[in-house]
């Protein structure tokens, strides 16, 4: 089995994140696509920044954003979302 290059792994992760964003948009039709996009982008960037490998970034992004959207009607401010991820290390518990 051939190993993917770093560029190929990053491209694959971004494709998976796009699929997660599409699924979340369908799952939460009352939320604007812009809000979902911003939250997916913020969460995935934070996870990628702290990841040793990116295999599960898309799944964790989807879970975190879905949990947040279910728990909160209003979108979280980007700075608050980043601070929550950084302080809580949410991704390490899942």
Chain segment 16-57, per-residue pLDDT in tens: 999 999 999 999 998 999 999 999 999 999 888 888 888 899
Q: How many domains does the chain have?
A: 1
Q: What is the pTM of this model?
A: 0.75
Q: Are 45 and 14 in contact (CB under 8 A)?
A: no
Secondary structure of 5-71 as H, E, C letters: CHHHHHHHHHHHHHHHHHHHHHHCCCCCHHHHHHHHHHHHHHHHHHCCCCCCHHHHHHHHHHHHHHH
Block residue for tokens 């996009």:
37
Average pLDDT of the residues of the chain: 82
Q: Per the domain annotation, does 56 fall within a domain? A: yes
Residues 7-16 have pLDDT tens digits of 888 899 999 9
Q: Per the domain annotation, does 55 fall within a domain? A: yes
Q: Per the domain annotation, does 1 fall within a domain? A: no
Boundaries of domain holding 78? 6-93
Q: Per the domain annotation, does 41 fall within a domain? A: yes
Of the candidates 4, 17, 87, the residue with the CA atom closest to the CA atom of residue 50: 87
């Amino acid at each position: 089995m051939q190993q993917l290059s770093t560029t190929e792994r990053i491209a694959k992760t971004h494709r998976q994140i796009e699929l997660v964003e599409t699924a979340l948009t369908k799952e939460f039709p009352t939320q604007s696509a812009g809000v979902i996009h911003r939250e997916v982008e913020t969460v995935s960037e934070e996870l990628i920044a702290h990841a040793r490998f990116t295999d599960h970034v898309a799944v964790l992004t989807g879970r975190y954003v879905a949990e947040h959207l279910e728990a909160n009607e209003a979108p979280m401010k980007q700075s608050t979302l980043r601070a929550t991820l950084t302080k809580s290390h949410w991704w390490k518990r899942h």
